Amino acid sequence: MKVIFLQDVPRVGKRHDTKEVNDGYAMNFLIPRKLAEVATPKTIAELEKRKKNIEIEREVQEDLLMKNLEEIKGKVLNIKAKTDEKGHLFSGIHKKEIVEEMKKQNHADIAEEFIVLEKPIKEVGEFEIPIVVRDKKSSFKLIVERI
């Protein structure tokens, strides 16, 4: 049976993939759990529309960010977090927290995918956070302070 994946299913398929799977697996596992839906001509057409809309949204975000890249450069973002005596954070600061704080403090809307952060920040201090959009690069300073 041909299905369209609505979510990532480990070792089977990724979201928006169309793939042939066993009938029993689709009917008894994937479809009841809303992990996939039957691939009909109508659902395939809807999938193509969704993919186009996602691509258009991404291009709009990239264009807006390209315009605001110079504005973001040199900005300072302060985040306060709980730490132990040595200055290590109890929970790391991820891209999601950086995006939320950027919206609150600097009124700049940046998508997580444009922020380059290899691993979560787990220490107090100053960090240079790079932003990459297409072939343009910029950065801002992140200051992590102890509560």
- From 3.40.5.10, 3.40.50.620, 3.40.50.1820, 3.40.50.1980, which CATH number describes the 2-63 domain? 3.40.5.10
Tens of pLDDT along 94-129? 999 999 999 998 888 888 888 999 999 999 999 999
Assess if CATH 3.30.565.10 describes domain 68-146.
no
| DSSP classification of residue 13 | B
Dist. CA 92–CA 123, nearest whole Å: 8
Report how far residue 83's alpha carbon sits from residue 123's, in angstroms, rounded to the nearest whole number.
8
What residue spans define the domains of the chain? 2-63, 68-146
* Average pLDDT taken over every residue of the chain: 91
Query: 64-102, pLDDT tens digit by residue?
Result: 888 778 788 888 999 999 999 888 999 999 999 999 999
Tally the residues of the chain: 147
Paired tokens of 9? 């299913």
List, for residues 31-52, the tens digit of each pLDDT value. 999 999 999 999 999 999 999 9
Least Cα distance to 47 among 62, 57, 37 occurs for 37
* Reported pTM: 0.66
Residue 20, pLDDT score: 96
